[in-house]
Amino acid sequence: MIKRNNLAAMTTLLKQAYPKAHCSLVHRDPFQLLAATILSAQCTDERVNRVTPALFKKYPGPAEMAAAPIKDLEALVRSTGFYRNKALSLKEASKAIVDGFGGRVPRAMEELLTLRGVARKTANVVLGSAYGIAAGVVVDTHVKRLALRMGLTRQTDPVKIERDLMQVLPKKDWIWFAHALVTHGRAVCAARKPLCGSCPLNRLCPKKGL
């Protein structure tokens, strides 16, 4: 595991590079963020942001989406991949929100995890970016890859990676840190060809150049 003084230095450099790192999924409320995050599974945020305007124009809230014909939802989200499963998740999660939570997206991890299509990553995105609640650390493909590359974990399971990150990061940084790693992974630390020469973490990264 990385030394805490190295992690503190990395965090400082990341804050200098990405002080306003935030969720890139376009949304206007917690429900729209939940729906967009469900759609983002194995799909880019850019693609999701091209799909959601038409989806939310027709079905702006959980009541409308719960009543939507499944075939219509499938057609609207088709380009995000795995569209049948995602459409069903949107419809069933919306119904559960209406029936079990008074039409409001829950603010607790345990309650969010009862919704179809919601695992810890999605729940953490909603809690952190919609409600400002630091219940954990979002671990998506970028965070998983960079956490391993930066020596923040030796785990490959997202739940275990999240546990490691929660142990070494101050809780006040949990929400921001994940967004910063996602931004850094897209802009600099690419999977196939990381731009180590222009990386602000170059001198601290244990796997620079790999």
Distance, CA of 146 to CA of 14 (rounded, Å): 13
User: Is residue 204 situated within a structural domain?
Assistant: no
> Given this model, what pLDDT does residue 1 score?
53
Q: Which amino acid is at 33?
A: L
Residues 164 and 123 in one domain: no
User: Is residue 206 situated within a structural domain?
Assistant: no
User: Annotated catalytic, 207?
Assistant: no
Expressed as residue numbers, the domain containing 146 is 4-20+136-198
Q: Name the packing angle between helices 174-187 and 141-149 (round to 10°).
A: 90
User: Is residue 88 situated within a structural domain?
Assistant: yes
Distance, CA of 45 to CA of 201 (rounded, Å): 25
Query: How many independent structural domains does the chain possess?
Result: 2
Q: Of 131, 150, 184, which residue constitutes the final position of a domain?
A: 131
pLDDT tens string, the chain, 210 residues long: the values are 555 668 889 999 999 999 999 999 999 999 999 999 999 999 999 999 999 999 999 999 999 999 999 999 999 999 999 999 999 999 999 999 999 999 999 999 999 999 999 999 999 999 999 999 999 999 999 999 999 998 899 999 999 999 999 999 999 999 999 999 999 999 999 988 899 999 999 989 887 655
Distance, CA of 153 to CA of 165 (rounded, Å): 7
Compute how many other C-beta atoms are within 10 angstroms of the C-beta atom of residue 51: 18
User: Is residue 50 situated within a structural domain?
Assistant: yes
The catalytically annotated residue of 86, 91, 121, 144 is 121
Residues 49 and 123 in one domain: yes
Q: Which residue has the tokens 């959980």?
A: 62
Q: Of 75, 102, 131, which residue constitutes the final position of a domain?
A: 131
- What pTM was estimated for this model as a whole? 0.93
User: Is residue 207 situated within a structural domain?
Assistant: no
Q: Which amino acid is at 130?
A: A
User: Annotated catalytic, 121?
Assistant: yes
Residue from 89, 68, 67, 86 nearest 77 by CA: 86
Residues 154 and 95 in one domain: no
The catalytically annotated residue of 140, 157, 164, 172 is 140
Distances (CA, A) of 53 to 25, 126, 163: 11, 18, 35
Residues 117 and 47 in one domain: yes
